[in-house]
Each structure stands twice: as C-alpha cells, then as structure tokens.
Chains A and B, each alone.
Chain A
C-alpha cells in the first residue's frame, strides 16, 4: 500500500509562493465548480465578463492600450542578436572569397541544399569555389554549415530573412548574391596572435570580377 496521499491545500501553498498554488515543478490546480448562487444564475457573471471585454474594446479603440499587433510591412521587429538569417560569404583582406571549397558545409548540411563546384586557384595549397549555391527553399536554417566552416567563410548573421519568390529557381542564392552581403572577417587568414583586435583590416566591399 502506498503511503502517499494527495497534498492538502495548505501544504502546497506553504511550500511555494506560486500564485496558482503549484507544488514543485508539476502540480494540479483545482478549480472548483461554480457553486455560489451568484455564479449559478450566470447572469451576474455574464455582465462581469462583458465588462472585461468592453474595457478592452474601449481602451483599444481610443488609445490602443493593450493592442499587441505589429503592422508588419510598416513596422518591423528587431531580430534577436543570434538570429540565423540569409547566408552570406565572407571576404578575405584582398576582397576575394574566403571559402576554400573544403566541402565541409555541403557534407554536414542535413537538407543537402549547398552546391559547391571547386576550381584551382594557381596556389597549390588552396582551392576556391567556382560555384557556391544555396537553395533557400531547402535550407532548414539549422546553422550547421556555419559551425562546420573552418575558415569563417559562411555566416548566417546577415539579419535578412529569406525573401518571398515567384519561382522556385529564384530562391537559389548564388555566390555573388552571398558575397554582396559579406564583409571582411575579423579572423585573419592563417591565424594570428592574441592582438588580432588591434590588427583589424579596413573593410572593402566585394567587387565581382567583370
């Protein structure tokens, strides 16, 4: 036989200051049946309810006191600092793409939305992407590509959300689209010492090759 029994009301209220009398993390709030005559007649309660809604109606009608609506195209909420938006490709100090086409991001991508076609740079130690495309309709905005990138080449902190498109093809972001949103990374190519903040390069905009 279990010795547990339902906690009495005083027990629940003495252990926490929770306004609904919950005990611990999970609890049950017991709401009694309407039993006073005033509640059973229903009409006084109806009038009280109408009073509440009428108060909200007039307050919102004259001063929008409680209104929480954001009228979207005209008003926009600020995205949170760590919002994952549209992808961008960061630039090197000389303005070229930072990506070395290592293929880590298309490998980790759970939606298979990243397409990279690498090409030779002439520098024997590095490649670069000839094509770098992301299908934003497939992207699940998980941010794993950003986590995987060893070069700080791809980021999702652009603060822009995926735009509405008329045709599916228009949702594919090309390398140039993403480079236009990119800026120089604060991380220095090849890595430097602890004084990297003082050595921040001057920002250059990407100038696509003609």
Chain B
C-alpha cells in the first residue's frame, strides 16, 4: 500500500512536487512564520528580563501564550483595510503580493531531506545511487538552483519600492528608496560571498552542495568557508531589513515604506519579513551547516549501527528543521541585541568592508582550489 503510493509519486513528479510544496510551505514555513511573530516578542522579553505575551488562551489551554499568534491573525483580518485617497490602487494592492510571493517561491530549491528510496523504505540502504526509483525531498531540482534563489530574492525589492511609490506619501516613498538602496547594495555582497562556496563544492545545485558537504562536520561550509559564512549571514540579515539593518522601517520611530498599509495588507508585509528570516535560515543551513546531514550518519546508519532507510530520512528531516529553528533563534537574538546602523555606516559596511572581503575570499578560495587540484 505505502509502496504503491510512493511508486505513484516517484513516477508522477508533478503530483509529488505539489504535495511536497504543500507539506513544506503550509506544514512548516507558514506555521513557523506565524509562531515566530509570538516567539520574537517572547524571546525579546526574556532577553530584557520581562515575560512577554503569555496570556492568550482558549479556555484553560494557555501553552505559554503561543495562541497569541492566532489572536494576532484574527485581529489583522478583522481590522479595517484603509486605502488612502489618491493612491495608485493597482500598485498598492500589488506591493504586498510582490513582497511575499518571491520568498515563498524560493523555498522550492531548498532540499529538506535526502532522496527517498522507493521500495526500500524499511530496509537498510547502503548506496543511495543504486535505487531504481527515488523521490527527491526538494520541490524543484534545478542545476541553477542558487542562481534562481538570487534572481527571485532580488524581485523582493519591487515589493518594498512599489509599496513606497504607490502609497502617495513622501515619507513612505523615502522609506521605499532606503529599502531599495540597502537591498541592492547588499545583494552584491550576498552573491559574491557565496561564490567561494560554489568553487569549493563545485555546484550551484543546493542538494548537490549538501551532498558534497557529507556527514563529516569538518567538511561543512562553516568550516571550509568561515569568512563567507560571516559575510553572507551579515549581508542576508541586511536583506531581510531587520535590526541592526532596519533603516527602511524602524518599527518604533522611522516612517517606513508600508506606513499607509493597514489590516491584513500590513500583515502580509510583516509575515513576509518573518518568512525571509526562515528562508535565510534555510539557505545558511543548506550552504554552511550541511543541510539535512547529521555528523556521522550515513545513508545506512551510524557507522556499523544500521538503521532502516525511513528512520534515517526522518532523522535527517528532523535535524534539518532543528538547524533552521536554531538559526531563527540566532537571528532573533541578533535582532534584539545590536543597535541600528546609521545610513552612512550601512553603506560603508556594505561597499567598503563586506565587498572587498568577499572579493578577497573568492580570490583566495580560487587559488587554493586550483592549487589542490594540481593546476588543472
């Protein structure tokens, strides 16, 4: 029964892709994004010796206030949707969609588990390459996977710029311009800092990068490319427009690009920011933390301790999500620890410090890769 379903999925890749998309986006990303709206307030409170929101409950079910995200969602949906006079109605409605769509689509290239070997789920698989039929645990496997990610991530600029432009408000226009200048500056460094990783692992395809990192922790990106990890993580946090890089819209005091948005349209911008956080965690996991790899765990189990294929795959998927949870926590920690940069400091950091360092990283990495391959 299970085998025949899996076989059907292995043959009909479109159906499988749809199912994986639903599982990944609706089953993992969206719940995590809505939970992080609560987790952010709770974690920041604990870092500042407060308690944070812990009251929302359904009857006696309290769960440390986790239900606050439900209350927030209900509030957002029932709030009045104010559209100011003289806005460009089409662009005004398009901007939130442009902000959230690219970040949701890019999840397609993230591998959340190894290839599932159909027909051998209960037995020990020593060599995954010998499988007759496989289901890749990745929605879309493209050779240009990481380029696809950069292409779509740069589309997110349109959401913020359009929101500022369409609002018919000079302050939101300025906010939109701040956002676009910041995102464009840091995209350069983001792309260049990953080039070294591509040189080391010889691929742009995320699953191939994960496979090349292997189950030995010293071969993971964070150890082979430590400088690239710091550069990429910094630039990508700037790309999510969150503190310390929240100049486009500092929540407490700066008028940002979505100042004219209310109700769920504002909620979509807000959610997009959290999804970007999760997506950044997913990319860092894939490229620098070995993706779904567990130190010491091969496809047949821990060394001579063999495990059924299904158990191995499930373990790897769980560890993949734990890595993402950790990185989300780390980003919240950074967001609530560091003070905001000034615009001139932001530009200096991006163009005069991160960019030369990432170029240096490429040159050194290329030289080392060339030297180790014997100059061929």
Tell me which residues from 44 to 72 in chain A have a Cβ below 8 Å from any Cβ of chain B. 46, 49-50, 52-54, 56-57, 60-61, 66-69, 71
Residues in A neighbouring B51, C-beta threshold 8 A: 67, 69, 71
Q: A194 in the interface, Cβ–Cβ < 8 Å?
A: no
Q: Do residues A67 and B49 form an inter-chain contact, with CB atoms below 8 A?
A: yes
B333 touches A60 (CB 8 A): no
B338 touches A49 (CB 8 A): yes
Q: Is B50 an interface residue (CB 8 A)?
A: yes
Would you call A43 an interface residue if the criterion is a C-beta within 8 Å of the partner chain's C-beta atoms? yes
With CB as the reference atom, state the residue of chain B lying closest to A69: B51
Residue picked from A46, A54, A60, most chain B C-beta under 10 Å: A60
Contact B338 A56 (CB under 8 A): no
CA distance A69 to B52 in the complex (A): 9
Specify which of B49, B230, B338 is in contact with A68 (CB 8 Å cutoff).
Answer: B49
A60 adjacent to B49 (CB under 8 Å): yes
Q: What's the nearest-Cβ distance from chain B to residue A131, in Å? A: 42
Taking a contact as CB atoms under 8 Å apart, the answer to whether B334 and A50 are in contact is yes
Chain A residue contacts of B49, Cβ below 8 A: 56, 60, 66-69
Q: How far is the CB of B165 from chain A (nearest CB, A)?
A: 34
The tally of residues in B whose CB lies under 8 Å from a CB in A reads: 13
Residues in B whose Cβ lies below 8 Å from that of A67 = 46, 49-51
Q: Does B370 contact A (CB under 8 A)?
A: no
CB contacts (< 8 Å) of A60 on chain B: these are 46-47, 49
Q: Is the CB of A57 within 8 A of B47?
A: yes
A140 to nearest B CB, angstroms?
A: 31
Contact call A54/B46, Cβ cutoff below 8 A: no
A54 vs B337: C-alpha distance when bound (angstroms):
9
Minimum CB–CB distance for B17 against chain A, Å = 39
Bound-state Cα–Cα, A57 to B46, Å: 5
Residues 207-234 (chain B) with a chain A CB within 8 angstroms? 230
Is the pair B337, A49 in contact by a Cβ cutoff of 8 Å? yes
Which residue on chain A has the smallest CB distance to residue B54?
A: A71
B158, CB-defined interface residue at 8 Å: no
A-to-B contact residues, CB < 8 Å: 43, 46, 49-50, 52-54, 56-57, 60-61, 66-69, 71
- Provide 17 A-B residue pairs closer than 8 Å at the C-beta atoms, listed in order of the A residue: A46-B334, A46-B338, A49-B338, A50-B337, A53-B47, A53-B333, A56-B48, A57-B43, A57-B46, A57-B333, A61-B46, A67-B50, A68-B49, A69-B49, A69-B50, A69-B51, A71-B51
B residues neighboring A (CB under 8 Å): 43, 46-51, 230, 333-334, 336-338
